[in-house]
Chains A and B, each alone.
Chain A
Amino acid sequence: MTSPVLLIVVVLLPLVGGIAVGAMKAAPAGQVKLIALGISLVELVVVALIWAGYTPSGTGYQFATSLDWIPALGLGFSVGIDGVALVMIALIAVLVPIVLGASWEEKLPAGRTIGGYFALLLVLESTMMTVFAATDVFVFYVAFELMLIPMYFLIGAFGGPKRTYAATKFFLYSLFGGLMMLASLIGLYVSSKDYTPTGVGTLDWAELRAIANQIPESTQLWIFAGFAIAFAIKAPLFPLHSWLPDAGAEAPVGSGTLVVGVLDKVGTFGFLRICLPLLPAASAKLAWLIITLSVIGIFYGGIVAAGQNDLKRFVTFTSIAHFGFIAMGVFAFTTQAMSGAVFYMVAHGLATGLLFLVVGMLTSRGGSRLASDYGGVAKVAPILAGMFLIGALATIALPGTSSFVAEFLVLLGTFKTLPVWGAIATVGIVIAAIYMLWMFQRTMTGPVRGVGVLLPEPDLSLSIAPATPQILPPAASGGAVLTARHAAPEAVPHAPAQPLPRLRFSDLTGREILVLTPLVALILLLGVYPKPVLDVINPTAAQIVIDSGHTDPAPAIEGANP
């Protein structure tokens, strides 16, 4: 089946489904949740059909279609996929059901319904699908901006104690980038007029690609600047990253996973979808800048991550380091680095998704996001600690996990053209080991301790199933972070006579294990046998390198062996 209808369904189904779920105010919550999950699973099946029908060796966009939208300006609602878009769409389709499953018993702020939450997640899925499927720069832009709306409400309405601040910051930051992009978009449209055969401006990707090499470099530089700022904010690259820790930390776990796992990739995706093929001269000219920022980001993100006490902020900073790798791979202009960067986007989505969800499960049990409130969790909840370790190892790119293949390709490909930068970035893997294992050591190992793990007061009930909607002691409710810190020392002096520590939480439930298992399986599978995904990515990645006007350098010694 290679009908473009499938792609239209992928784009629209979650939107329609989300609106429907949002409208079902009267239905019982359990039913609404099942319907939302069902929609996301149908979406997954449709994406699987697309994957099956996709021809990796084919050129151009497949499943492509264009509907008239604003004919006066020659703009159409054009969608289609190539290898890069396909793997990203598949990543979204896999992550959303998992996120829904993980949010099944999410503790939401007062007055919010789970139905509304799931509806927004589905709408977000639709906008993300559109971004990756867009084959018209204008459609890309619109979807890029539309993503903000559900995400704004997901953070601002359903998030943690500082949610309003975080949501506003996220929105303004992204909007600023979006407007820069709009300016560049208009610039691109206007300057394309002089080069199209018809003399009419265009924003269609294929038509722009055809004239990309004719636009003079000086013009390209200005257009590139606007796009690059938007993408650097979204990705985020140092020093435009400061919205991510707040947004990631304040967002509820499910949407936080999607922010870090998918939404940010729109930035790096934009670089390789728009900047490289459509503005090749400017990309080549300014590659040094992006590479420098990327390498700074690798170290900066890693080092600042090591200094974090807030577990969710910690994960977001590790992501900043990883986005450094991805952006570096994109701008190294070799096939290996490009394929690696795309594969990295998938691998990072899985690894960080796993890590973020596990952190969410941990913090929802302990009621605090601070690492210092935990200790010796491995003794109390070995499965949780094991999942955390798998996520951690995938994050530090241990061989056997998908991240290894990605990081290896990025570094190897970068080393080919930029040996010094490649070598420096390789040192980043040591930093990764330090911050990850240090966090693991602080929270998971050592003696069982911390207000997040032990109950401070003996008169509290021991049976805290995650489903119980009870209000946990100060540490759990609003204003959590600060209160937890200050309330604990007051509470502890009452407890020294306790003979046995009383545990605040139990190990992962069956539902949680079920939710995490697909992620673990994919991480390991793609680490051992990444070929199916690489086969999809490779032709597109190679084409992007060619489009950007580069060729792989040949090795010094040409041998007979492969």
Chain B
Amino acid sequence: MTVLTQAAAAVEGTFAAPAATGVSSAALLLVALPLLSAAILLIGGRRLNAAGPYLAVAMVAVPFVLGVLMFFQVTGLADGDRIADVQLFSWIPVDALQVDFGLRIDPLSLTFVLLITGVGSLIHVYSLGYMAHDPDRRRFFAYLNLFVAAMLLLVLGNSFVTLYAGWEGVGLASYLLIGFWSYRPAAATAAKKAFVMNRVGDVGLAIAIFLMFKELGTTSFDGVFGQIGALAETSPATVTAIALLLLLGACGKSGQVPLQAWLPDAMEGPTPVSALIHAATMVTAGVYLITRSYPVFDLSADGRLVVTIIGAVTLLVGCIAGCAKDDIKKVLAYSTVSQIGYMFLAVGLGAGVYALGILHLLTHGFFKAGLFLGAGSVMHAMNDDVDMRHYGGLWRLLPITFGTFTLGYLALIGFPFLSGFYSKDPIIEAAFAAGGVRGWLLGGAAFIGAGLTAFYMTRLMLMTFFGEQRWKGHQSADGHDYHPHESPLTMTVPMIVLAFGSVFAGFVLASGERLAHWLTPSVGEFAEPHPEILSPVVITVATLVVIALGVAVAWWKVGSRPVPVVAPRQVPLLIRWARADVGGNAINEALLARPGIAVTHALTEIDTTVVDRTVTGSGTVLAAFSARARRTQTGFVRSYALSMLGGTFVVLAALLLVRFV
């Protein structure tokens, strides 16, 4: 087993990565440039309103170029030399705890760097058009840059603490961007919800770090992965605990059950944000975390099992909810939830299959970002209306959007030889390859999910681009008529580029297991899964059949009959349940929100009544006693004189008593 040999090698101290050389040693620039740009835009004020957005675009494009240069540098190295660190400075040094601020350039982080800066640049360009009329767009671009910087820190950090810093940083950027239109109460609420639910996950990640430090005395990747093998021998339960805590963090960031409810609400943010943060990059950070921590998960079968279960459950929950939503962005959001479920399923299957999760992550990054940008383009054309029931027949009016969207759609449902096909099909095969009951259950879930995906995406396509033009004669919420029009070049060009990615990325990355080999130094040797239950060909064909079935059902239910402009109220329980986010919000509400508010009210009341009154009460008792006692001060001199005399006698008597008795 490669893992064990690596662990053994690590104990001897060979796990430590060498210092980066060449262009890779400039890794700090990747993080620093967007961060600097964000700071300039925020501090610069109105003067930068015009030039600021272009600066923001440049400060993402330059890191992309740097990333490409690093990529070529690293591909030129031998497999064993592809991991290199850039140690910057000592961040939190306290006695045995030495947290260094360092960045790691290796195939895994570079893959993410290229995804983040590549898709990020496209979406920055798109935002130039999309946010052109927003008075606050300087702030918007500043936040986008901040996000890119935090996300790059997340994937480049070479210790769990650095990763955590990026982890919370992207949470902050996500908070700021979801709540960008903060004067809308729904946006402000959604932003807060996202941040709080992310924080729940962060608690898991934080405790995992504490546990690593307690058991291993280090928080760096090198240190932890080097010694986790030794820990697994003495205390396997601790390794599983670390794995599960990391998983909790991953669930929070990636919108996995039970922390999925924030992601659909996050669609309150501007659409480029949804594309960049809540589809292509940030929400996949959970997958990154698990992949990055593969030595931990490799050693914990129970941990991996939980990951696969969560992945399988989430992908079904996402699909079911996606089938019933009428809000175009929410359908895509739930689609994201379920696709990340696929990735979790893949990375949970363990040694050798991590690359499949990353592959799906990359192709998903392309086509889902493309789909979101397309949705943004549609909304742009439709006065920011998001209700698909008000759309219809748009393909003629938005030809470029329609074309790119269709390619993204086909890629997502797994149409043969498009990106999604190359990445999703192997995951389904790998799930079946888990063997036995587990294989049937996981594989079955992934299989059903493929059919459901085909259904809800076809439904989305039909309701948006085909059928009658239901918006004719209606007015949008702000009282304007609909005048659908194609978007400007700044918006369509990124969509076209992403559509190319949706078509070819899968083939380019998957053929000859190119990505898997490239990732080997970071995630271990790739092992082609061999399902024993069914042969791969059978699975592939069956999957295609179920996808075709999903498309057909969608056509039969949606395409072949007129779509009501107002959602029908009398619907079966299943649909009602799906519309209500598969109960996700209701559970949170009943278990956490309401009791939380009740406890808050109760404790606030107790603080003023019980705790504070105990204090003021003791004062009151003392005051009451004084009120009685002061009555002796009559103001008559002779009563004072008498008491003095009395006192003298008492003292005398006491003295005599002591003297003579």
Contacts and interface: CB of A to CB of B under 8 A. Distances in A.
A contacts B: CB pair < 8 Å: yes
Interface of A: 169, 172-173, 239, 241-243, 300, 303-304, 306-308, 335-336, 339-340, 376, 378-379, 386, 393, 398-400, 404-405, 408-409, 411-413, 415-416, 419, 422-423, 426-427, 429-430, 433-434, 437-438, 440-441, 444-448, 528-531, 534-535, 538, 541-542, 552-562
16 contacts: A300-B607, A304-B600, A306-B600, A336-B97, A409-B97, A422-B207, A429-B206, A433-B196, A437-B196, A529-B89, A555-B215, A555-B218, A557-B215, A557-B231, A558-B217, A562-B223
A316 to B, nearest CB: 11
B206 A426 contact: yes
Contacts, number: 198
Contacts of B211: 415, 419
A429 B215 contact: no
Contacts of A306: 600
Interface in B148-175: 161, 164-166, 168-169, 172, 175
Interface stretch (B179-187, B333-341, B442-450, B525-533): B179-187
Contacts of A408: 92, 161, 206
Given A556-B231, A561-B218, A335 B94 contact: yes
Contacts of B161: 408
Contacts of B187: 445
A376 B164 contact: no
A303 B596 CA distance: 9
Contact of B165 (A399, A542, A561): A399
Contact of A304 (B89, B217, B223, B603): B603
Given A304-B603, A556-B231, A561-B218, A422 B226 contact: no
Interface stretch (B197-205, B322-330, B367-375, B512-520): B197-205
Given A303-B600, A416-B214, A555-B216, A239 B611 contact: yes
Interface in B578-604: 596, 599-601, 603-604
Given A336-B95, A415-B211, A429-B199, A561 B223 contact: yes
Contact of B599 (A303, A413, A541, A557): A303
A534 B207 contact: no
Contacts of B217: 554-555, 557-559
B95 A445 contact: no
Contacts of B185: 445-447
Contacts of A242: 607, 611-612, 615
Contacts of B189: 441
B96 A419 contact: no
A399 B195 contact: no
A423 B207 contact: yes
Given A429-B199, A555-B217, A557-B230, 20 more contacts: A239-B614, A303-B604, A306-B600, A336-B95, A340-B94, A393-B172, A398-B172, A412-B97, A415-B214, A426-B206, A429-B202, A441-B192, A555-B216, A556-B238, A557-B227, A560-B12, A560-B13, A561-B220, A561-B223, A562-B218
A531 B93 contact: yes
B96 A335 contact: yes
A448 to B, nearest CB: 7
Contacts of A243: 615
B175 to A, nearest CB: 8
Max chain A Cβ within 10 angstroms of own Cβ: one of B196, B199, B616:
B199
Nearest to B607: A304
Contacts of B97: 336, 409, 412
A409 B206 CA distance: 11
B604 A559 contact: no
B188 A339 contact: no
B15 interface: yes
Contact of A438 (B12, B42, B192, B199): B192
The 6 A-B pairs at the shortest CB distance, nearest first, are namely: A307-B604, A555-B217, A399-B165, A415-B210, A445-B182, A561-B223
A442 B217 CA distance: 42
A416 B179 CA distance: 38
Nearest to B232: A557
A362 B226 CA distance: 52
Given A408-B161, A416-B213, A556-B215, A562 B95 contact: no
Interface string B2-14: 0000000001110
B560 interface: no
Nearest to B230: A557
State which size class the interface on B falls in.
35 or more
Given A433-B195, A445-B179, A531-B89, A426 B603 contact: no
Contacts of B227: 557, 559, 561
Contacts of B213: 412, 415-416, 555
Contacts of A430: 196, 199-200, 203
Given A419-B214, A441-B188, A379 B183 contact: yes
Contacts of B511: none
Contacts of A172: 619
Nearest to B12: A560
Contacts of B91: 528-531
B633 interface: no
A448 B183 contact: yes
Given A419-B214, A429-B199, A441-B189, A534 B93 contact: yes
A528 B88 CA distance: 12
A557 B234 contact: yes
Contacts of A438: 192
Interface string B87-114: 0011111111110000000000000000
Given A242-B612, A399-B165, A559-B226, A303 B94 contact: no
A542 B96 CA distance: 11
B85 to A, nearest CB: 12
Given A411-B206, A534-B94, A559-B227, A446 B216 contact: no
Contacts of B165: 399-400, 404
A446 B182 contact: yes
Contacts of B13: 560-561
A422 B234 CA distance: 23
Nearest to B201: A430
Nearest to A405: B92
B243 interface: no
B235 interface: yes
Contacts of B182: 378-379, 444-446
A409 B161 CA distance: 11
B172 A538 contact: no
Given A242-B615, A557-B231, A561-B13, A307 B92 contact: no
A239 B607 CA distance: 9
B468 interface: no
A534 B92 contact: yes
B164 A399 contact: yes
Nearest to A308: B604
Contact of B604 (A304, A423, A541): A304
A388 to B, nearest CB: 13
Nearest to A382: B139
A415 B94 contact: no
Interface in B130-156: none
